Amino acid sequence: MARAFLFPGQAAQFVGMGRDLYDTFDTAREVFDLADEVIGGIKTACFDGPEERLKQTATTQPAVFTHSIAAFKILAEKGIRPHFVAGHSVGELAALVAADVMSLEDGLKVVGVRGRAMQAAGEARSGTMAAVLGLDDAAVCALCSAIQPSGRVFPANFNCPGQVVISGEVVALRQAMEEARARGAKRAIELPVGGAFHSELMQPAIDALADVLADVPFAPAQIPVVANVTAEPTQDPDLLKRLLIKQVVSPVRWTASVKRLAAEGADQAVEVGPGNALRGMVRRIDRSLSLWGAATVDEIAETIRSLGEEPYG
């Protein structure tokens, strides 16, 4: 038996996130204060918004990362630790810090660059994303291929059975949404995002991310990290760095990642950070995993009460 920590990605943010952690735990206060030193403005964005600022990619990514690491450190301080980690998109950065692949300060530097670079790429190459509900993965891949003559559209997030996010050029993606409905999708919903994330339209962000990572030392992971790109566990620091860069233009294989965690023996999963979207996905992927959250003081207290006495905690 084993426990996985799952770290959320963009779209998990909300105004007020982390304020209760900051007010209650010295550990969380240290994380948020360091984020303000390294990036600037994180506490204000998280605690007070406004929502429009918090939704900007350059702010969202460091905000979600900071909240996630604050929650992780509180759990670790209370003896609740994982045997595996995985993160959805930018959540993979939090997973790498949790696995001691890189330091928190380096993680903050990287997430700041990643967020700014992806926002700039989205502004330079107009694109968007949409959630396709009710078609399987193969059907969505076929749909994207069929649309290609009209423009570039790609599968971006394989979130769970029947939920795949597509990413691409605006006109072509909207055509893909119509075609998805024609092919039997229950719904196709355009998402309020700042670019075509996890597609080749994000290529301009690669150089900036690679440049900052060139100066960031990666250590062997202390526990296996299941990477988005491969959905395979690894502790190899060089591979983890390459995959982190490749992830920006590659689909997030979340369904396969959760299945791999279960195959490796994980029977518990804790969503560490804001929101509860990952728990919803996991329930649709593999109901054998017991689930907990760690977004708020109350959730963390309940998770500690539930898991604190576990012999393998």
Residues ≥6 apart with Cβ < 8 Å to 124: 204
Task: Name the one residue in this structure whose structure tokens are 């006495």.
Answer: 309
Q: Which of 67, 68, 89, 257 is catalytic?
A: 89
- Quote the CA–CA distance of 273 and 293 in Å, as a whole number: 8
67 is catalytic: no
89 is catalytic: yes
Q: Report whether the peptide linkage leading into residue 251 is cis, meaning its omega lies within 30 degrees of zero.
A: no
Residues ≥6 apart with Cβ < 8 Å to 207: none
CA 118 to chain centre: 14
- Quote the CA–CA distance of 181 and 289 in Å, as a whole number: 32
Q: Which of 67, 198, 199, 257 is catalytic?
A: 198
- Quote the CA–CA distance of 210 and 212 in Å, as a whole number: 6
- Quote the CA–CA distance of 99 and 130 in Å, as a whole number: 32
What the block records as the tokens of 80 is 């609740």
- Quote the CA–CA distance of 155 and 181 in Å, as a whole number: 16
Is residue 288 within 8 A of residue 309, CB to CB? The reply is no
Active site residues: 89, 198
